[in-house]
């Protein structure tokens, strides 16, 4: 086994000091050389396992984290919700964001620690009033329907609109201390547009499709504003500590392939190209639920990782994507309601099908409300015990 040194990417980021937090602890790496154990000594922190896996380096096991990792299935989160019932209050306060983001890290030690936030967080800064109502979900107070509505949408300036996101990421990066990768995330243009045109969540997407097919110029204008803003938001997250960023295009799979190419793919590529110009080493992950019919097109965006949902067989997804791109996923979240043996078997099946390199173990969607915490713990225990 060999010891890893600090890469140029890691050394680029030096978080500012914060008096209320302790200084980072030195990392210790044990190296076995010819059967002799070398005494541990202080050394520079190696890059997180997740980043090494994405870049195709040899790793001893697949890194693992879970979507909706910090959230409603944890009792510790439910306690915070009782004290702070508003989702926006919880997600727009840096101290609460850090506390909630670290809850699963403190218990399960995943290989990715994702920012607690929401893809709609930028909307207020773009002059789109909204709220997230318990039991109902996102509510857009003034859904967009016309060119005049879109004209009122401002380009997003994260430094001014969401400074708490940058502050939280900086603290998370220092607290996690490179023992895992700190993950940021954003919403993709079409998915964001779907919310603001539909007025919230939707089952049939008739309003956004009606706009796309009857007034495409209006929708393209809105999508362009989101593309420019989300590229800026990704850069902001990276500059403040995010070591990888996931793009959620959850609703793009409601589009036919030809419409996906026009109303989603073009803007996703634009975001990736813009970010890579300034942050070429920042891994970008793309997730779209129900993406079986669009797998090859997801890879055309230029992202580093495609996250597959559970409706795609992992081995088949690998073949369709090719081995030059990393893959994430894709255990069915419902598996976590099964027996521990069942969970174990599904994990091993997914890892076997994904292959040895460029795989991040995850669910094919977020953790479901009511998932037993002990089963989440078992998922991580099994995953972290795997050796290639």
pLDDT tens for each residue of 8-21: 333 333 444 333 33
- Identify the band that residue 7 occupies on the pLDDT scale cut at 50, 70 and 90: very low
Domains in the chain, CATH or no CATH each: 63-385 (3.20.20.210)
Question: Which pLDDT belongs to residue 38?
Answer: 38
pLDDT digits (tens, 9 = 90+) for 252-287: 999 999 999 999 999 999 999 999 999 999 999 999
Question: Which pLDDT belongs to residue 122?
Answer: 98
pLDDT at residue 376 above 70? yes
pLDDT at residue 378 above 70? yes
The share of the chain scoring above pLDDT 70, in percent, equals 88
pLDDT at residue 22 above 60? no
Question: Which pLDDT belongs to residue 104?
Answer: 97
Answer with the residue of higher pLDDT: 211 or 19.
211
Question: Which pLDDT belongs to residue 134?
Answer: 85
Question: Which pLDDT belongs to residue 241?
Answer: 98
Q: What is the pTM of this model?
A: 0.88
Answer with the residue of higher pLDDT: 132 or 25.
132
Question: Which pLDDT belongs to residue 182?
Answer: 98
Per DSSP bridges, beta strands 32-33 and 36-37 are antiparallel
pLDDT at residue 35 above 60? no
Cβ atoms 52, 348 nearer than 8 A:
no
- Identify the band that residue 46 occupies on the pLDDT scale cut at 50, 70 and 90: confident
Answer with the residue of higher pLDDT: 83 or 23.
83
pLDDT digits (tens, 9 = 90+) for 320-367: 999 899 999 999 999 999 999 999 999 999 999 999 999 999 999 999
Question: Which pLDDT belongs to residue 136?
Answer: 86
Specify the range with the lowest mean pLDDT, choosing from 23-27, 301-305, 328-332.
23-27
pLDDT digits (tens, 9 = 90+) for 213-243: 999 999 999 999 999 999 999 999 999 999 9
Question: Which pLDDT belongs to residue 358?
Answer: 97
């Amino acid at each position: 086994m060999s010891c890893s040194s600090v890469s140029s990417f890691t050394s680029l980021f030096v978080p500012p000091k914060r008096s209320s937090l302790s200084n980072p602890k030195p990392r210790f790496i044990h190296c076995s050389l010819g059967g002799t154990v070398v005494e541990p000594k202080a050394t520079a922190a190696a890059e997180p396992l997740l980043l090494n896996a994405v870049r195709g380096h040899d790793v001893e096991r697949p890194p693992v984290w879970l979507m909706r990792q910090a959230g409603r299935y944890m009792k510790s989160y439910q306690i915070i919700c009782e004290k702070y019932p508003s989702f926006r209050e919880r997600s727009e306060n840096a101290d609460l964001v850090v506390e909630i983001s670290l809850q699963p890290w403190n218990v399960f030690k995943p290989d990715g620690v994702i920012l607690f936030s929401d893809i709609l967080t930028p909307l207020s800064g773009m002059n789109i009033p909204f709220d997230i109502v318990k039991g109902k979900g996102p509510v857009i107070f003034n859904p967009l329907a016309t060119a005049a509505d879109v004209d009122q949408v401002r380009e997003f300036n994260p430094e001014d609109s969401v400074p708490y996101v940058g502050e939280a990421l900086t603290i998370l990066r220092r607290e996690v201390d490179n023992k895992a990768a700190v993950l940021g995330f954003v919403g993709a243009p079409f998915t964001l547009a779907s919310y603001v045109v539909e007025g919230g969540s939707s089952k049939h997407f008739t309003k956004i499709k009606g706009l796309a097919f009857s007034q495409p110029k209006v929708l393209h204008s809105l999508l362009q504003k989101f593309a420019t803003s989300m590229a800026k938001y990704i850069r902001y997250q990276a500059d403040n500590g995010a070591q990888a960023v996931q793009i959620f295009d959850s609703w793009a799979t409601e589009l036919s392939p030809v419409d996906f190419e026009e109303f989603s793919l073009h803007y996703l590529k634009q975001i990736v190209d813009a970010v890579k110009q300034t942050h070429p080493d920042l891994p970008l992950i793309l997730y779209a639920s129900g993406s079986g019919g669009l797998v090859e097109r997801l890879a055309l965006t230029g992202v580093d990782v495609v996250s597959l949902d559970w409706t795609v067989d992992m081995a088949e997804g690998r073949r369709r994507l090719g081995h030059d791109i990393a893959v994430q996923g894709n255990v069915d979240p419902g598996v976590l309601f099964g027996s521990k043996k069942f969970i174990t078997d599904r994990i091993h099946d997914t890892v076997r099908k994904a292959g040895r390199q460029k795989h991040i173990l995850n669910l094919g969607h977020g953790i479901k409300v009511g998932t037993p915490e002990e089963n989440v713990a078992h998922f991580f225990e099994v995953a972290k015990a795997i050796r290639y």
